[in-house]
Amino acid sequence: MTWRTVIATLATFLTTIVVAFWLINEPARMQKAEDGFAGRSMEAGAIIYANNCTRCHGPQGEGLPGLAPALNTETLFDGTRITEVGWAGTLQDFVYSTISGGRPLQSAGTTWPQRMPTWSTEYGGPLRHDQVRDVTAFVMNWGRAYDENVIELQANQSDMTDMESFEPVGIDIFSPELPAGNPDNGETLTVSLGCTACHIQTEVGPAWLAENDPDGKGIGTRANERFLSADYNGMATNAEEYLRESIVRTNDYVVEGYEPGIMVATYGEQLTKQDLSDIISYLLNLK
């Protein structure tokens, strides 16, 4: 054997060991990356759930009587529920698509007076697809208590990419500057975010439409007057700022006759600049 052959043999041998070692460890590495991803997705989902879903489905998914059904329940995870509604796909897809698209009020067999709102931006809701996916992962995780198989159903979770690009507008009323608003989109958002449930369908919050207001003024007109009134204690100096403040810092100034803490206080974390601008431009039109 020449020295060349010895070196070549040794090199081949070493390469084989390195490749074998890598091959043995790769699945573990992949699994670790996937577990890490699923964990982050679920954590993000928990926050989205707390901000958007607890008021109807309860903090632990136990459901609230008269508002919305339980999600943390065996019948959702053992297949009873999807069989009942005639869903042919997987449970994961059922949960994902219900959250995305919501349910129309007239959906067959519904016994709930309210509708399940639309959440995906695809259908005019406030959540991007990755956020819908995260909150789906969070809901599906309850299934662990009932059925070990649901963990596998979470496998088809894909990119995290636009998670990073989501920038909530925050709770400052002067910055960032808002882009031009689209009132039609704003109107859609006020429905999917549930604003209209308090401000139009009921009188839980001050009426938006002139015909429902005792003084016959829509919110667009009132917004021009509120910040000038004697009891006003906020920071706004014009109607746009007043509306922005009312939405992202709702408890700074509380309209007379209402209690603080009733309106959802987390919109600054859920809305982008564009969403907020769209909503404000819609409200300004409601003279």
Q: Of 19 and 179, which has the nearer Cβ to ligand HEC?
A: 179
Nearest distance in Å: CB 202, ligand HEC: 8
Nearest distance in Å: CB 177, ligand HEC: 19
Show the CA angle centred on residue 193, arms to residues 83 and 179, nearest 5°.
Answer: 135
* 254 touches ligand HEC by CB under 6 A: yes
Binding mask of the shown chain, residues 46 to 75, with x at each position contacting ligand HEC by CB under 6 A = ---x--xx-xxx---------xxx-x----
**CA distance linking residue 186 with residue 75, whole number of Å:** 37
How many residues are present in the chain?
Answer: 287
Kindly list the distances between the CA atom of residue 5 and the CA atoms of 8, 9, 10, 11, 15, in Å, as whole numbers in the listed order: 5, 6, 8, 10, 15
**CA distance linking residue 101 with residue 121, whole number of Å:** 9
Q: How would you class 89 by CB atoms within 10 Å of its CB: exposed for 0-12, middle for 13-18, buried for 19 or more?
A: exposed
* 128 touches ligand HEC by CB under 6 A: no
Cα atoms found within 13 Å of the Cα of residue 26, Cβ hemisphere only: 6
Q: Of 6 and 278, which has the nearer Cβ to ligand HEC?
A: 278
* 274 touches ligand HEC by CB under 6 A: no
Near ligand HEC in 168-197, by CB under 6 A: 190, 193-195, 197
- Tell me if 150 sits within 8 A of 81, measured CB to CB: no
Q: Smallest Cα–Cα separation from 264: which of 190, 172, 207?
A: 190
Nearest distance in Å: CB 238, ligand HEC: 14
Near ligand HEC in 192-231, by CB under 6 A: 193-195, 197-199, 204-206, 219, 222, 226
Q: Of 99 and 173, which has the nearer Cβ to ligand HEC?
A: 99
Select from 243, 248, 284, 286 the one that contacts ligand HEC (CB under 6 A): 243
**CA distance linking residue 244 with residue 277, whole number of Å:** 8
User: Which range of residues in 22-30, 115-123, 152-160, 173-181 is near ligand HEC by CB under 6 A?
Assistant: 115-123
Handedness of CA 113, 268, 237, 284 (dihedral sign): negative
Show the CA angle centred on residue 235, arms to residues 231 and 238, nearest 5°.
Answer: 90
Which residues of this chain interact with ligand HEC, rule CB under 6 A?
49, 52-53, 55-57, 67-69, 71, 76, 81, 95, 98-99, 103, 107, 110, 112, 114, 116-117, 119, 135, 139, 190, 193-195, 197-199, 204-206, 219, 222, 226, 243, 246-247, 250, 254-255, 258, 262-264, 267, 279, 283
